[in-house]
Structure 1
Amino acid sequence: MPSPQEADDPIDEAFAAYLKSVDEGSIGSREEFLAQFPEMATELKDLMDAADAIDRFAVRSEPPLSSISPSQAGAETVDFVTSDPNQSGDDPAETLPEANRAKGDPGPTLPYDLGDYQLQKVVGRGGMGVVYQAQQRVLNRTVAVKMIRGGMLACENDVRRFYTEAQAAAGLHHPGIVPVYQFGHRAGHHFFSMALIDGTDLQKRLNEEDELPIDDAARYVRDVARAIEHAHQNDVLHRDLKPANILVDQKDRIHITDFGLAKNLGADSSVTGSGAAVGTPNYMAPEQAGGHSDRATRQTDIYSLGAILFACITGRPPLLGDSIVDTLMQVVHEPPPPMRQFRSGVPHDLETIVAKCLEKHPKKRYHSAGALAEDLDAFLEGRPILARPRGRLLQLWHWFSGVPLVGALLGRKVVRSSPSHRRAQAAMLLMIAASPFFFVGIAMLYSHHIQSMPDHVTIAGGIENGTYNKISSLIASRLREIDGVSVDVVATGGSVDNRQRLLDQNVHVAPMQASAINDNRLCVIAPLFYEMAHLLVRGDGFDSGSFQIEPEQLIGRSIAVGPPQSGSQGTAKMILDSLKIAADVSPRVTTDWAKLHSPNAPPIALVCVGAGSDLIVKLLASGWQLKSIPQSIMISIHHPTLRPMTIDASDYPESSIPKVGLPTVGTTAFLAARRDTPSELVQATLELLYREPTIIENLIPRDRTAEWQGLDFHPTARQYFATIEVGVQ
């Protein structure tokens, strides 16, 4: 036995001798062995305790083949294994990873018997392990066997990672993860066996092909995402996803490998601790690159999937520095470049999917790998994806924050700045010097722009052939004649529809009932006319000789309340609610007014239109009867937008309305706009609206606008009516 003085590394040599004695069964007691090295007894004892823990684990994990449980026999792997002969090591002796051989001794060569396995050739090498093609004698099958590269002198962390790699997949059963058959410790070697896949890895495909077809790239990552979703559902995080760990077999199917850095969420365990940056820098999530691998979540793997998809499409990872540290800094602080910078014609939806995966903040990424797979499926099938692209403003902000000066002000670390960023910084410094003049000029230009007449004006109308449509067409016609403006009128469903079109900025101005102007982004240009609620009945059960009706007579009968987007429907709801006529007792039927001429129309209709409306005239001529609205004062108290009104006999001379008229409630139709509507458009509209002869019959005079002082008028409209109140023409 070599003395510690003769060894290059006394502790390692002594511990190797101890392990060899254990394997050969030639050791006496541990105390006797330690007594030979009193000056290093403490360090050797610590190594022995670690070896005992590993041996206990190996013994539990190495049952006879006849007693392998279904979970062990069907477990699925986590390492890259391929039968591609080009992946053999470059060592001609192809020696096994023995650690206790003498200097110059290459050790046993292949083929080599390891229990039930005959190791035949090397098919892969990594930083920690060597993978052999092997024949398993009992089951007569070809498998892959992975062993620790450092042999018996592998450090405790390497051994723990090696068994983590096998254990992490023990509960996983998915065709996208290679099955592990057995793992344990024999003849001084830690090993596990798994299926041998005939294929190559995705990184090699990327190296060999100029451009991977986009659909193939999306399909590969979709299938990887589905396999990772299965792992996540079983509380296993991979944490080292990269193209080199994705195997593509001869049938073009993928298999995920190398779970050596896996983390079990259920057991809260991994091979790393807080403060460690583990993984492959180019494919690490920012939380890993920042040294917080203990905080890894499912979104950590999703980031890596996005980086893999980026590499499959462009041939390179999203962030690539001059050194490992530079790459890590970029991953933490820098946004990834657009894929079209490296490959033209990348589909917009695919860019959106990758951008969502590569978000710096985990919560902004896909909530699951399954959701990513669904979006990739939608892309491949030509369906809309769920991910939404970043707005142009946000993209601009991310670029702008890359300017060193801006980054310093925001507290963002700018790892490197492009020539365009440096030019932008120089321009910014120049602008700061001239900022007073610059901002004053910008303010003046902006003010002029937002207040000027638009090149094209769009006005909302209403129901086809309805009053709103006619009014909007008249306003448009006069705008064209007087101001030479290009104007369009769009037919709509009524007040509610017009309100939404204004909020969506699809139209500039729109007529609507007062109750619809209920958003602080909207304001009034001018009152137009009054709209009255017309209660019409038809059929048996109503006294044709009386214009009076009691609320009880409405109960149990269906009531037509108007088109779905009309203000009339909203007014009808307020009236019926005030009269305590519930919708489940007296159904409220949404219908076009033209259908009231049908024999199948409801027996009651509540129509809110201007007095003398052609619609009401035609309905009265077809057999409908007008009735007064009961309790009109009470209704107006409940709903301030409604007021007591009277339908005069002159409004419908053919209907025999009493001279005193019919009590009802009504509301006001206003011309409304957004608060940011240009002043020139508002001013021109007001001038043409009140110019003689007026274009609207029954237009409320401009000197009566004081009645609505409580409403929120457009600033230009308020100024216009204020000059009239003081007598300025």
Structure 2
Amino acid sequence: MPTSPEAEDPIDEAFAAYLRSCDEGAVGSREQFLSQFPDMADELRQLMEAADAIDRFTGASIAPQESDVADAGAETIDAEFFDPAESGDDPAATLPEADRPSGDQGPTLPFDLGDYELLEVIGRGGMGVVYRATQRMLDRTVAVKMIRGGMLACENDVRRFYTEAQAAAGLHHPGIVPVYQFGQRAGHHFFSMAMIQGTDLQRKINTEEMAIADAARYVRDVAEAIEHAHQNDVLHRDLKPANILIDRADQVHITDFGLAKHLGADSSVTGSGAAVGTPNYMAPEQAGGHSDRATRQSDVYSLGAILFACVTGRPPLVGDSVVETLMQVVHQPPPLMRSLRSGVPADLETIVGKCLEKQPKKRYQSAQDLADDLDAFLEGRPINARPRNRVIKTWHWVAGVPLVGALIGRKVVGTTAGHRRFQAAMLLLFAMLPFFLVGAAVWWNHHSQSMPEQLTLAGGLDGGVYNTVSAALADRLQQSHGVESRVVSTSGSLDNRSRLLAGEVDLAPMQSAAIRGGELCVVAPLFYEAAHLLVRADDLEAASGQLAGKVIAVGPVGSGSRTTAEMILDSLELSPDISPRRVIEWRDLGKPESPTVALICVGRGSSLVEGLLRSGWVLVPIPESISISLQHPTLRPITIDRGDYLAAEIPATGVQTVGTTAFLAARRDAPAALVRASLEELYRPPQIFPRLIPRDHAAEWQGLDFHPEARRYFASTDDPSS
């Protein structure tokens, strides 16, 4: 297939890659590089020799020198801190002379560079080489930085080199290395700056454990210098210990503004998608490939990382590779300094934690704020930063577990032994969870459906039928099942309903009208309650059925008797204006001032009604009983017979009235064992109550909402009462 004229020659591409590798210090040896391209090795070797000739003309030497100054240069990705034992020297400097890349040779020293005489190499970085030099006209010793690669340097490198010079030259602060002059001589791009006699912060970290007060003082002074840069709209973006020089007076000086960005103009040499800086010390927004979004808080993050390294001897986040470190910086919280060095003060831990927040808005909003807090720490005053509360700390730790991180969408790069043990426990728990859930469900079902140890039954008014039935059922349950049972008196059906819903009682008799809603259900029908219209014998008008204008005694509000009475009186069009209601104790009906008419809804054969009939009261039929029952489905026509009250003069045809049904009710979640036991005792011979509705008649109310266990009970064919 013919090659397009626009396509690059493979040899040119390979040679360009070789030059880039030389500039970045990434070539091991020339022969190693050539072994990757056996088909074009001869052509590449000729190009390399031509480059050597050019370099010999411009001059270069990479012999490493021990120096009093450290300047690591600016790099897009600087991997030197993955091995803390290494200094900022060029990795190529450790290679044998014959194997060093030819494009990295500097001028033969001493070298004349205009007004400057270069004497020795004192520092080397990814982009530049720093020389100790003499400035002849001013007769002073200075440092001269020259771009690596000489005339072969690409346009981007040159632009970045001058960005550093221009950024530093515009700053005038004792904590920033001043730049004197920059330009080009004999094809070499350079700038001169003050010569700082001393060492750098990285070497101090590598040498010995630093005093905490010294670490805080160094970073405070650096923060104040960076605040000056920020006030002049310059971001450093590559703050790290190797870029902080310490002179013989123990004062700090910031150098290497090669990655600086001017906030007032588009002066950055990188664009979106580039991760610029040193991975261990760059802010998460830079590590994530958004160096164009770097702000003052990005430098604050780097200051916190430097302080962390000064105290603990290592950066906050260290991965096995550049990519892993970048991922940790973006996603992983740093460890506590106290986990790496005991005795770190809590306030210093808080200061560093605020600097290393992932979100810029949570960090110190200026380098000066950080410097002020470090000042307060050094002087023993309260700091402004506040530590994270225990809940947030715990959540951040748990979010570092790989399984949890995957569930919440957080990338987890590195894990500790504690995280791995916690995850193993979680996985074991998840594996056992179905068994636990099944076991818990079985236990809960058994517990919730078993017989309770104590029972409370609702009764009714003192002396009423509800009390009688509830007391008899409670006695049987206690005797047969050993359950401690008691009965509480209430004001009637509506009161019983409220107590059931509140969980105050387990079982309660009540009229059918009170069993409504989805929370209560029927256990069993108990007996019929008849509306007894009683008139004092001396009130002949009332005895003849003329009730208009009569005061009528009714049950208290909340009782089933009162509810039934109101339904009947409304159907008879006897409103309270026509026939006023009065609530009195039923035993007070015999007093002269009491009403002469009473409407009581109670079970037939009631001892209360029996006593009133013996004391001069008579039963009066309720007219239109069929019409009333049609208007109110919970009511039904009922006849009171002679057999219900033997002492009363009741006609052979009985007294026509209406009535309702009393049911034993429970909550829907009542234990099945309680419901079954109650039904067994309710229908166990001898009969618990003379007028109890038989078990085989329960089908008449199948339209009602029965408890599931009650429905199963009545559906069974084993009827012990038959």
- TM-score normalized by structure 2? 0.47
- TM-score normalized by structure 1? 0.47
Mark the structure with the bigger radius of gyration: 2
